[in-house]
Amino acid sequence: MVRPTSLASLALTSGAPTPIDVTGSKAFLLPETLDFDGPTRPLAALERDLGVALHREEEVGDEAKATKGSEAEMTGVVATQPVGSSEGGGGGRPPSPLSVEEGGEGGPTSARGFLEGRGWGFKALFIATTCSAQLIAQGQFGMVVIPLYEVGRWLGTEEQGQLGWMAASYGLTVGMFLILSGRLGDMYGPKLLWLIGFGLVIIANLASGFCTSPVPFNVCRALGGIGAALSLPNAVSILGRTYPPGLMRSIVFAILGALAPIGFVVPGSFAALLADHGAVQWIWFTTTLVAAAFACAGMLVLPPDDPIPPKSVRKNFDYLGAVLLICSLGLFNFTWNQAPLVGWKVSYVWASLIVSVFLFTAFFLWEKKMGRAALIPPQVLSRTNLLVYTCLWLGWISMGTFLFYTVMFIRNIKETHTALGVAAQMAPCGPTGALAALIIPSLITRVPGHLIFLASMIAFLIGNVMMSVAPPHITYWAVQFPSLLIVIFGPGTLDMSFSTGQLIVSNSVPREFQGIAAGIVSMITNYSMSIGLGMAGTVEIYAAPHGPLLKGYRSAFYFASALAAIAVIVVGLFVRMPKMAHYRE
């Protein structure tokens, strides 16, 4: 999926976590502790930013609509569907003239009547087309990771560092661009960004089919990651703008979420079938054709965007902050994923690390100067949020390491010589991940959020510990299968850790910054799985430079276990959040 090095990053992830209805049949009020001061965000933009489908208990009258900034208008807002999607929270933005403009007659809610009078066939095509962003995003990751060795041989390498880059390059750019794509969708329209994203996916996969060496292939994978990052948050935005609150909205968000684990396993298995028959290049050509078909359908069935706002509004975007953030994240990730390949003694590795730290420092100082208009305002960096960000960082590095090295264990230690054999052993990730998405709505309203978050970190820890001590010849059903169930279906499922993390940080900041905080969560989960493989690869190589593979793999699992253990301690001692039922009337 789109969220591992990183394998896990996108594997059952990016990704991805699942849009969910957290209330069941009842609604709950947004917490009274939220700051409702400041300009009122349009309902559709707030839904996409916070990852929550909102509806009003009573229709807002014309007089109330005229006072968009009033607190009275917001008192009837109830949340019925947090969207637990790594991609769904990337579109937050600080208040701007655009925020107020969008709430008018031509605002995003104008898409609500788009499906009225349409036949069931058109509606089904609309849902399939919009949600295909999830399928394509997760599929692009699974199609590399599952037949990884076949892809490596096709490109002329089986070196572990090169293979790691093939998985990491995609997750790197997904994590880098997620926080920007939602804001760009706000300015230029979600349909346009959705189509641009699919255009990049088409170009990237078509070019991948003609690659003959790892470096050009990795560049193409990175370009495909940018396309996924542009299309996914805006797919959520399109659904939120089109469907009013109710059963149908819950259904389409559930479909979008269920496609995350399914999108990793099914396309990955199809890629394994092609790879085992010597047709690796057709993995990318087939993806190109599928993406092109969805893009053509998108031009026809997606609702039109609202007019592009004036230049004076678009100037409010923090362009310098975006450039500094992208460059710093890119160089930092490059350092950690290149080091296992060439070693830490190479001068440019240290140079890129130093420059990345310098750029990130410059980004922090610039954001502090920009204040509330910054790409990442200081208001979203509270003590609670920093703790959650840190634990998500540690937990998802652990998750990415678990998934990637489980595949390596199956392939090299269990001596599974075919990509289809690997796909079969990773197959439980699909249905169990989708099933886990269905139980989140009930669970999250009955159990305090920090306990679910804690259980997620514990599941990451248990899964890595189990694999770190797994004997090489033990049966699949004794260790690998239960560890996958614990990490993917158990409380460690991507949806639970991601969704509760988003809820905790969103509830600890003023309303106008909730979308930005949720976007940071999306960025961290995807990015950490990408960089985690580089860190784990460094541990593997230095722990067993010339020793057996099993020793290196176990060292990577030990590393992931240690990070998950730190996250367990931090969450257990310092993170608190009441259950969502606390906010019901």
Note the residue count of the chain: 585
Instruction: Find out whether 232 and 175 touch, Cβ atoms under 8 Å.
Output: no
Condensed to tens digits (0 to 9), the pLDDT of residues 203-247 reads 999 999 999 999 999 999 999 999 999 998 888 888 878 888 777
Q: Tell me: do 234 and 335 sit in the same domain.
A: no
Q: Tell me: do 162 and 259 sit in the same domain.
A: yes
29 strand-pairing partners: 78
Q: What is the mean pLDDT of the chain?
A: 77
From 84-93, 124-133, 365-374, 572-581, the region with the lowest mean pLDDT: 84-93
Residue 3: pLDDT band with limits 50, 70, 90: very low
From 32-36, 140-144, 198-202, 233-237, the region with the lowest mean pLDDT: 32-36
Residue 112 forms part of a structural domain: no
Residue span of the structural domain in which 298 resides: 7-21+119-318+375-583
Statement: residue 105 has pLDDT above 60: no
Instruction: Find out whether 308 and 187 touch, Cβ atoms under 8 Å.
Output: yes
Residue 551 forms part of a structural domain: yes
Statement: residue 65 has pLDDT above 60: no
Confidence at residue 584, expressed as pLDDT on a 0 to 100 scale = 42
Confidence at residue 515, expressed as pLDDT on a 0 to 100 scale = 62
Q: What angle do CA 248, 41, 446 make, to 5 degrees?
A: 50
Residue 4: pLDDT band with limits 50, 70, 90: very low
Confidence at residue 441, expressed as pLDDT on a 0 to 100 scale = 62
Residue 535 forms part of a structural domain: yes
Instruction: Find out whether 333 and 530 touch, Cβ atoms under 8 Å.
Output: yes
- Which residues are CB-contacts of 217 (< 8 A; sequence separation ≥ 6)? 155, 166, 208, 211
Residue 195 forms part of a structural domain: yes
Cα dihedral: 483, 485, 489, 492 (round 10): -10
Q: Tell me: do 337 and 450 sit in the same domain.
A: no
Confidence at residue 490, expressed as pLDDT on a 0 to 100 scale = 57
* Residue whose C-alpha is closest to residue 14's, from 91, 88, 92: 88
Q: For the residues 430-451, what does the mean pLDDT come to?
A: 74
Q: Tell me: do 265 and 368 sit in the same domain.
A: no
486 secondary structure, DSSP code: I
Q: Tell me: do 331 and 236 sit in the same domain.
A: no
Residue 346 forms part of a structural domain: yes
| Domain count within the chain | 2
Q: Tell me: do 304 and 355 sit in the same domain.
A: no
Q: What is the Cα–Cα distance from 360 to 551, expressed in whole angstroms?
A: 35
Statement: residue 27 has pLDDT above 90: no
Tokens linked to 45: 């933009």
Instruction: Find out whether 326 and 362 touch, Cβ atoms under 8 Å.
Output: no
Q: Tell me: do 288 and 387 sit in the same domain.
A: yes
Q: Which of 331, 346, 374 is the last residue of a domain?
A: 374
Confidence at residue 510, expressed as pLDDT on a 0 to 100 scale = 74
Confidence at residue 6, expressed as pLDDT on a 0 to 100 scale = 35
Helices 247-276 + 419-426 axis angle, to 10: 150
Q: Tell me: do 334 and 277 sit in the same domain.
A: no
Q: Tell me: do 430 and 562 sit in the same domain.
A: yes
Confidence at residue 186, expressed as pLDDT on a 0 to 100 scale = 74
Q: For the residues 139-167, what does the mean pLDDT come to?
A: 90
Q: Look at residue 273 and give its three-state secondary structure.
A: helix
Residue 157 forms part of a structural domain: yes
From 297-311, 359-373, 494-508, the region with the lowest mean pLDDT: 494-508
Residue 75 forms part of a structural domain: no
Q: Which amino acid is at 350?
A: W
**Tokens 């890595």 identify what position?**
464
Q: Tell me: do 368 and 388 sit in the same domain.
A: no
Residue 429: pLDDT band with limits 50, 70, 90: confident
Residue 482 forms part of a structural domain: yes
Condensed to tens digits (0 to 9), the pLDDT of residues 379-393 reads 888 888 888 889 989
Q: What is the Cα–Cα distance from 383 to 502, expressed in whole angstroms?
A: 15
Q: Tell me: do 353 and 450 sit in the same domain.
A: no
Statement: residue 47 has pLDDT above 70: no
Looking at residue 504, which CATH number applies to its domain?
1.20.1250.20
Q: For the residues 128-148, what does the mean pLDDT come to?
A: 92
From 26-35, 425-434, 522-531, the region with the lowest mean pLDDT: 26-35
Statement: residue 26 has pLDDT above 70: no
Statement: residue 71 has pLDDT above 80: no
Helices 160-188 + 319-342 axis angle, to 10: 170
Q: For the residues 144-173, what does the mean pLDDT come to?
A: 89
Q: Tell me: do 427 and 553 sit in the same domain.
A: yes
